[in-house]
Amino acid sequence: MKSIFPLYFTDDGIKEQIGWLKVVFGMLFATDISLIAYLFTKISTLSMLQIIIVLLGLTLVTSAIIYVNKKAMNKIDSLEEL
């Protein structure tokens, strides 16, 4: 039976996945830095609810960064095993 994803488990396929994870990681990292900068520049004018929302967003984005990083590291480890 022919696989739907022929490159998924090959060296090139894993390298492609790592490349896309790097893009996602970079976008999340830029978002995280932007939220931190926004919080520090507007802290005196934000309401408590807005501060909580920004902190919640920071928590979610940082969690996503950690998840993407772990996923990329697992892909790199699987590439080394091939």
Listed as own residue / partner, the contacts of 31-35 with beta carbons closer than 8 Å and 24 or more positions apart are 31/61, 32/58, 32/61, 32/62, 32/65, 35/61
- Output the pLDDT for position 1: 44
Domain count, the chain: 1
What does each of the 82 residues of the chain score in pLDDT, given as a tens digit? 445 555 556 777 888 888 999 999 999 999 999 999 999 999 999 999 999 999 999 999 999 999 999 999 998 888 777 6
Asked whether residue 40 is assigned to any structural domain, the reply reads yes
Asked whether residue 60 is assigned to any structural domain, the reply reads yes
Asked whether residue 1 is assigned to any structural domain, the reply reads no
Query: Could you tell me the two tokens for 24?
Result: 């996602």
The model's pTM: 0.79
Distances (CA, A) of 27 to 4, 5, 30: 28, 26, 5
Structural contact between residues 65 and 25, judged by C-beta atoms closer than 8 angstroms? yes
What is the domain extent for residue 64?
34-82
- Output the pLDDT for position 8: 58
